[in-house]
Amino acid sequence: MAEHQLTAYIREARKQGMTHEQIVDALAKAGWRMHEILEVVLEREPAQATPGVAAPAAPADAIISVNGISKHYGKLKALDNISLNVKRGTITAVLGPNGAGKTTLVRILTTLLDATSGRATVSGYDVQRDAQALRSAIGLAGQYAAVDGILTGRENLEMVGRLYHLSKAEAKKRADELLKQFDLEDAADRSAKTYSGGMSRRLDLAASLVNRPKMLFLDEPTTGLDPRSRFTMWNIIRELVAGGTTLLLTTQYLEEADQLANYIFVIDHGHIIAQGTADELKSQSGGDVIELHLSDRSQAQRAAAIIKRFGNGEEPHVNPNGGVITMPAPGGASVLIDVVRELDSNNLKIADILLRRPSLDDVFMKLTGHATEENQ
């Protein structure tokens, strides 16, 4: 069957009400390989709308379109009417604290969880109607490395390749490519349980790329990693996008979103509370910010109450662990002198004080009234 005949077959099958899954099964039985079906034909076919849910008006360059997705567990609303679009060829971050709904959203978009209501498409596939076809077109690395500790790194990757129906030779070749790409060649034949945390995360990410997905989901990819391993993972993520992969990552690390993301959705208690580029979000916090470190951390609350009048009327934020006080400074540099004098007159010694531009943490504080877990 030639490609144009295959396209015509699919169009006719859709008229008869066949789903992506039914079409894929029929073509596979006819001898077509999965990657040929997905890459050559099915990607060109628009996803069918779920009955009763209007199709979202997604931009032409959107690879993910979410329209009114909700997930309820009894009275608990893990997600509440979430709508968003992800542009092809970008890194999009979903930023929020633990329990905000980030992982729930990823699980819905990767077919691991059904939404209570709403509709979502990924690469043109409806996440519920076309789940089987979609799973062959995406990659997912969850919060925790999903590798078999008994198997070697090479065996883990070859096993994933075979699960994607690659031949034994193709699976071995793909494993070799990924071991080299992720700098795991020296450890390739060691048991995965001997890997460090950073190595395990790299192996897990490599496994999610075995099928060469154009859309990759990373759920808190650097959680638990030391700073060096985190920076290594960031560089790998940048290289993947430069090679044409689209990424959606969830994170509670503000610096991670700032460093990597082209666009950020801030989520809290199941709602998107803000969105934009890092610079756009920072601009929502207004002007400069005073960051104050006291010699005696136990005096932080007292100092915050004293300097409040030099801010914009909002309560200064006090980090109880480090004793760091941050406060909007609408007066700019001139406020620093007043703050220093006031604290000195109250016998409060300053270890360090600086005036800086707003960070994403300042944005999150302004929007939610609390910091993300990394800064609480």
Whether the Cβ atoms of residue 352 and residue 293 lie closer than 8 Å to each other: yes
Domains of the chain by start residue, with CATH? 3-44 (no CATH), 62-147+195-281 (3.40.50.300), 287-357 (3.30.70)
**For the chain, how many helices (H) and strands (E)?**
14, 14
φ, ψ at 354 (rounded to 5°): -150, 155
Query: What single DSSP character describes residue 63?
Result: E
Instruction: Tell me what the pLDDT averaged over the chain comes to.
Output: 83
How many CB atoms are closer than 10 A to CB 168?
A: 10
Alpha helices (H) in the chain, listed in sequence order: 3-15, 20-29, 34-36, 102-109, 131-135, 153-163, 168-181, 197-207, 227-242, 254-260, 278-283, 300-307, 333-345, 360-368
82: helix, coil or strand?
A: strand
Dig out the tokens for 198 from the structure.
């950073």
d(CA 143, CA 250): 9
Could you identify the residue written with the tokens 């990657």?
35
Residue 345: exposure state from Cβ atoms within 10 A (0-12, 13-18, ≥19): exposed
pLDDT digits (tens, 9 = 90+) for 323-352: 899 888 877 778 888 899 999 999 999 999
Can you give the pLDDT at residue 161?
92
DSSP H or E run through 71 = strand 62-73
Out of 12-21, 99-108, 168-177, least confident range: 12-21
φ, ψ at 202 (rounded to 5°): -65, -40
pLDDT digits (tens, 9 = 90+) for 123-177: 999 999 999 899 888 999 887 777 888 999 999 999 999 988 899 999 999 999 9
pLDDT band at 36; cut points 50, 70, 90: low
* Highest averaged pLDDT of the listed ranges 58-67, 113-122, 135-144, 322-331: 113-122
Q: Which of 230, 170, 185, 178 is nearest to 209 (CA)?
A: 178
